[in-house]
């Protein structure tokens, strides 16, 4: 592996290299179009160390060192991009050494049509943080670093972009096989006798492929788009694989994926010194009445206001969800105890066993609803993010706060970035999520809460 990486570096360094500060900032999946006469080769990357810990479940949630190499080539109509990461450390008490191909793809860039094939990260939607129309890439929610973008994972996909005019573009994507998000249910503090099995992935065939399209408009005074997605959701719930109450409690749960169809739209409009953004997605699912891991159809929407207040950039978001065909879960009633001498005692024992198994199904179905924010017919939340730069743009402080009025859960994330030189930057911050007992944030917060520090040198 080292020999191959060295050969790649020598091959790139042996040609003309154009390296600039911030060379690969932003989305790598949106390459700038070059003229056919220009050949451009760029090489960059960084090395960093990061530590995350201090939570309830783990003293050290994440400790690792990482080396990242990014390369981009444009020659005529040919284009390639690679983001390769080497990482070693300890994640949730498990030693890991990983080679991650964050993004690796090749393509063709013409005046009217671009085509890319390979592992890509594509983000749709115009709102920050919460994107109802963004269904194209999975996330590793349990990879804890100072940069939330590190959690984004690529999908293997075929992408074609057609530019009808400079202001109108059609983006079409095919995803041949399903790659789920990393959501570590097994790390949650579940009841004794409960364990999670590995996920069974859908077969890689035409029927299970994902398809998406987005018609985007970028006008001088506004931007907006409409989109469609069909396929398996990268985010998922779980089912009960097996249940035994005797002789000892044994509940086996299995993460399970589901298909959906999503019709979405978004917009961004500047109004004087304000920017107004909105995004909504109408999702349809099937068999949700019978399968606890499949959410109901719903309408998921976000409205955001962005404004500069005396040098502080503030973004306020309202996040809402309306669940269609909502029916309340009915809690079971424990059978009335009877004496062993009662002639109905055997019937009582049978009903008690039925109550126990029914309670497991009820609690599992309820927690799935909490995962999908469908525990009530409507779900309402606010998020406020305030940021400001100091010391001639060398220090940037940000504070993000989220509160869900329906579930009473909240999240607080402070972050401080100090750019000590052109090459060296230091990050400090933390994340606190809390909620009432047995909510998602209550269980996940015990694993994900903590403080972090990171040091990065770019080249």
Model pLDDT, residue 345: 84
Q: How confident is the model at residue 31 (pLDDT cuts 50, 70, 90)?
A: low
Q: What is the pLDDT of residues 244-260, one digit of tens each?
A: 988 888 999 999 999 99
* Contacts of residue 366, Cβ cutoff 8 Å, sequence gap at least 6: 329, 375
Model pLDDT, residue 348: 82
Q: What is the pLDDT of residues 212-232, one digit of tens each?
A: 999 999 999 899 999 999 999
Dihedral in degrees, nearest 10, Cα atoms 115, 118, 124, 127: -130
Kind and range of the H or E element at 173? strand 168-175
Model pLDDT, residue 25: 42
Kind and range of the H or E element at 9? helix 2-13
Model pLDDT, residue 347: 87
Phi, then psi, of 305 in degrees rounded to 5: -120, 130
* CATH homologous superfamily, domain 37-458: Porin (2.40.160.10)
Q: How confident is the model at residue 30 (pLDDT cuts 50, 70, 90)?
A: low
Q: How confident is the model at residue 5 (pLDDT cuts 50, 70, 90)?
A: very low
Burial letters 254-274, b for 16+ CB under 10 A, else e: bbbbbbbebebbbbbeeeeee
Find the mean pLDDT for residues 283-307.
97
Model-level pTM? 0.87
Exposed, middle or buried, 391 (CB in 10 Å: 0-12/13-18/19+)? exposed
Find the mean pLDDT for residues 278-286.
98
Q: How confident is the model at residue 15 (pLDDT cuts 50, 70, 90)?
A: very low
**Percent of the chain's residues with pLDDT above 70:** 92
CB 105 within 8 A of CB 118: yes
Model pLDDT, residue 37: 58
CA 7 from chain center: how many Å?
A: 34
Q: Domains of the chain: which residue ranges?
A: 37-458
* Contacts of residue 245, Cβ cutoff 8 Å, sequence gap at least 6: 353, 356, 357
Q: How confident is the model at residue 350 (pLDDT cuts 50, 70, 90)?
A: confident
169-to-2, 123, 161, 208, 223 alpha-carbon distances in Å: 41, 15, 7, 27, 12
Q: What is the pLDDT of residues 44-86, one digit of tens each?
A: 999 999 999 999 999 999 999 999 999 999 999 999 999 999 9
């Amino acid at each position: 592996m080292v020999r191959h990486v060295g050969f790649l570096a020598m091959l790139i360094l042996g040609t003309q290299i154009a390296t600039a500060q911030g060379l690969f900032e932003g989305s790598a999946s949106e390459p700038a179009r070059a003229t056919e006469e220009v050949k451009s080769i760029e090489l960059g990357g960084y090395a960093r160390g990061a530590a995350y810990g201090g939570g309830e479940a783990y003293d050290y949630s994440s400790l690792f060192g990482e080396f990242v190499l990014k390369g981009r080539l444009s020659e005529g109509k040919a284009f390639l991009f690679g983001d390769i990461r080497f990482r070693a450390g300890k994640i949730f008490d498990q030693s890991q050494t990983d080679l991650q191909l964050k993004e690796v793809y090749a393509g063709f860039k013409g005046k009217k049509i671009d085509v890319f094939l390979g592992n890509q990260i594509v983000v749709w939607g115009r709102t920050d943080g919460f994107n109802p129309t963004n269904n194209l890439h999975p996330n590793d929610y349990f990879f804890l670093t100072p940069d939330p973008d590190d959690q984004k994972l690529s999908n293997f996909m075929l992408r074609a972009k057609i530019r009808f005019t400079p202001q109108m573009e059609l983006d079409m994507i095919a995803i041949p096989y399903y790659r789920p998000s990393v959501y570590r249910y097994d790390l949650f503090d579940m009841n004794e006798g409960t364990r999670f099995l590995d996920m069974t992935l859908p077969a890689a065939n035409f029927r299970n492929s994902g398809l998406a399209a987005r018609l985007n408009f970028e006008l001088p005074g506004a931007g907006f788009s409409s989109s469609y997605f069909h396929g398996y959701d990268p985010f998922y719930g779980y089912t009960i694989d097996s249940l035994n109450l005797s002789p000892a409690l044994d509940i086996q749960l299995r993460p399970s994926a589901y298909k959906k169809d999503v019709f979405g739209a978004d917009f961004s409009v500047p109004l004087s010194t304000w920017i107004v953004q909105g995004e909504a997605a109408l999702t349809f699912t099937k068999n949700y009445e019978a399968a606890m891991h499949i959410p109901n159809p719903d309408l998921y929407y976000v409205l955001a206001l962005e404004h500069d207040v005396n040098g502080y950039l503030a973004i306020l978001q309202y996040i809402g969800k309306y669940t269609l065909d909502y029916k309340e879960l009915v809690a079971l009633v424990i059978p009335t105890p009877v004496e062993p001498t009662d002639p109905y005692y055997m019937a009582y024992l049978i009903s008690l066993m039925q109550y126990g198994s029914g309670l497991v199904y009820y609690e599992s179905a309820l927690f799935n609803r909490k995962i999908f924010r469908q525990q009530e017919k409507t779900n309402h939340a606010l998020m406020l993010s305030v940021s400001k730069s100091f010391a001639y743009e060398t220090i940037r402080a940000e504070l993000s706060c989220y509160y869900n009025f329906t579930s009473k859960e909240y999240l607080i994330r402070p972050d401080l970035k100090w750019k000590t030189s052109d090459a060296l930057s230091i990050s400090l911050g933390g994340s606190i999520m809390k909620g009432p007992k047995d909510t998602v944030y209550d269980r996940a917060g015990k694993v994900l809460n903590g403080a972090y520090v990171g040091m990065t040198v770019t080249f």
